[in-house]
Amino acid sequence: MEKVLESAHWVVEHATHVALDTDALRGSAREFAQQPLSFTWDGIHVRDRTARTVQYLFVVDCLNFCFWPEPRWRYRGHDGYLALATALKDAVERGDPLWDAAFLAQMDRANLREILDGEHEIPLLDERVKILREAGAVLQREYGGQAAQLVERAGRSVIRLVELLARDFSSFRDEAIYRGKRVYFYKRAQIFCADLYGAFGGRGWGEFSDIDMLTAFADYKVPHVLRQLGIVRYSLELADRIDRREELPAGSEEEIEIRAHTIWAVELLKRELEKLGRPLRSFEIDWLLWDLGQREEFRQRPYHRTRTIYY
């Protein structure tokens, strides 16, 4: 993901609203290096080790974005990503054919609303319907209706898989323009790779020769944790806007700077941990930070809010 890292670094070097605190970064790296860290991909997902697991994960990551608008959508006691993964797992287990590309291509609002039934309505429901319809159509046209064929086409390369996703599925084309320069994030495309790796234990459809190339998944939870740790700092004006829960427009300088600093901060954390003899890959650091964000002490301040299909 060189172009992701390179473009993120360029934004960091030219940013005016967001900055990195290298002392805080090194301090957090030292703390992480002293902790007993282990990573077990969780048990809330479909994991039958077949092509259906690949299809399920593909659908999850097609829809893995924007859970924050109030009142929060909840499903079986969960909110956010955990609610989504649980709802889709339940749908698979009761026989809803999410593994059928034709079913996805004909998805309508009422059907998806029923699949994601819960407290309140999930945000951007119409956009989610559109994304699933496109996903089903492209899978039928290009990949024999199977996300597993998409993964196989990538030849065990996360770089190639991300390229295919961004090329063929518009909702995975997570790019922005910052001061005339194109910036690449590919959050959902990269997280699909990591989900495959986790679900299949690095074997089969989860085996990638270049898994180390994944960057952080720039969303709204990880930068929030980085801010709480003092690693990412916002200008007074931006901090005030975020703390007042003011929505940041997608593609604005502030939003792009937050996401770029997320990617670069995790890259620097990775380098520091290597120096300390506790090497972690970027996606593992991302998992670590995301898990921290689920703790109550990291929920005391708001995260940035952007209405987008990309995260």
Tell whether 305 is covered by a domain.
no
If you average pLDDT over every residue of the chain, what do you get?
Answer: 96
pLDDT of residue 251: 98
Tell whether 199 is covered by a domain.
yes
pLDDT of residue 37: 77
Active-site residue (options: 168, 195, 219, 286): 219
Tell whether 307 is covered by a domain.
no
Is the pLDDT at 35 greater than 70, yes or no? yes
Tell whether 85 is covered by a domain.
yes
Count of domains in the chain? 1
Tell whether 304 is covered by a domain.
no
Q: pLDDT, tens digit, for every residue of 269-296?
A: 999 999 999 999 999 999 999 999 989 8
Tell which residue, 195, 268, 188, 182, has the closest CA to residue 226: 268
Tell whether 134 is covered by a domain.
yes
**Amino acid found at 104:** L
Q: Which domain holds residue 41?
A: 2-298
Tell whether 161 is covered by a domain.
yes
Residue 155 Ramachandran class (φ > 0 left, ψ -120 to 50 alpha, else beta) = left
d(CA 290, CA 192): 16
CA angle, 200 as apex, 94 and 55 as ends, to 5°? Answer: 45
Q: Do residues 63 and 131 touch, judged by C-beta distance below 8 A?
A: yes
Is the pLDDT at 61 greater than 80, yes or no? yes
pLDDT of residue 43: 67
Q: Do residues 227 and 289 touch, judged by C-beta distance below 8 A?
A: no
Tell whether 140 is covered by a domain.
yes
Q: pLDDT, tens digit, for every residue of 229-262?
A: 999 999 999 999 999 999 999 999 999 999 999 9
- Residue 219 is a catalytic residue: yes
pTM of the model: 0.96
pLDDT above 70: percentage of residues in the chain = 98
Tokens found for residue 107: 């998805």
